[in-house]
Amino acid sequence: MQPGGGLDHFVAVVRRDANSSWLASTPASSARPMQSLSQPGLRMTRREMGDTSGMQRFNLRRTIRAASRMAMTLVEIALPGPFEGAMAAYKRGDYATALRLLRPLANKGHRAAQNSLGMMYSQGKGLPQDYAEALKWYRKAAEQGHADGQDNLGAMYASGKGVAQDYVEAHKWFNLAASHLPASEAANRDKAAQNREWVAHKMTPAQIAAAERLAREWKPK
């Protein structure tokens, strides 16, 4: 198993990230909260207060306004966010649009956007290939606990691209990626584990022990 496996599965990562819901892939600080259905600005007219039919008209107005507010909220939630737009642009080969949408998200700490931006630098998609920049963005995603970013960062250390080759660091990040990927991501989890085992064959028992200790002590930033 080549350590570069982490560098070659962007399409699969993109497919998974793009299919996730907008609320799941957007930082909690930027997700739109559900709007309250209370309507402090809606008041009964005097005519409505004076008879039963007026009360009915008022209730109808209130119901219509509530339905309108709810519809607007649902539309806002259903609309794809900029990350999904970036992934769609990447898939159709519009790398300039993908970069334009990804970079602000990555700068704000969006883990999946950081990993995807790292991949674009690594592959030279839409910009000059730059392993140092790829490493930077993979690290940002990995340090926040993004499993694919951890796998990709491990591949960079294993291959010595953008950083001095370091099997201890590679083993650590592959190990973390394998442990953080859920059962529903079995194929990617197995790939990360295979990358870890590939690296382990090049390491001494002391190096493996050091890498395992680093993985146990790791905490997300």
Residues 128 and 199 in one domain: yes
Q: Write the pLDDT tens digit of every residue in 112-152.
A: 999 999 999 999 999 999 999 999 999 999 999 999 999 99
Residues 112 and 151 in one domain: yes
**CA–CA distances in Å: residue 53 to residues 49, 115, 164:** 9, 60, 80
Residues 57 and 95 in one domain: no
CB 126 within 8 A of CB 120: yes
The structure's pTM equals 0.66
Task: Provide the pLDDT confidence category of residue 221 given band limits of 50, 70 and 90.
Answer: confident
Residues 135 and 201 in one domain: yes
**Beta-carbon contacts of residue 64 (< 8 Å; ≥ 6 apart):** none
Pairwise CA distance, residues 156 & 167, whole Å: 10
Lowest mean pLDDT among 16-30, 57-71, 119-133: 16-30
Pairwise CA distance, residues 106 & 139, whole Å: 12
Q: Which domain range does residue 185 map to? A: 3-19+80-217
CB 102 within 8 A of CB 120: yes
- pLDDT mean over 32-46: 40
Residues 10 and 56 in one domain: no
CATH number of the domain at 173, please: 1.25.40.10
What value does the mean pLDDT of the chain take? 78
pLDDT (0 to 100) of residue 50 = 56
Q: Which two tokens stand for residue 80?
A: 């794809």
**Beta-carbon contacts of residue 182 (< 8 Å; ≥ 6 apart):** 189
Q: Write the pLDDT tens digit of every residue in 186-198.
A: 999 999 999 999 9
Q: Does pLDDT of 13 surpass 50?
A: no
Q: Write the pLDDT tens digit of every residue in 101-114.
A: 999 999 999 999 99
- pLDDT mean over 166-195: 95
CB 121 within 8 A of CB 133: yes
User: Could you tell me which residue, 61 or 93, shows the higher pLDDT?
Assistant: 93
Q: Does pLDDT of 184 surpass 60?
A: yes
Residues 86 and 74 in one domain: no
Q: Which two tokens stand for residue 73?
A: 């909220």
Residues 149 and 181 in one domain: yes
pLDDT (0 to 100) of residue 191 = 94
User: Could you tell me which residue, 157 or 57, shows the higher pLDDT?
Assistant: 157
Residue 40 lies in a domain: no
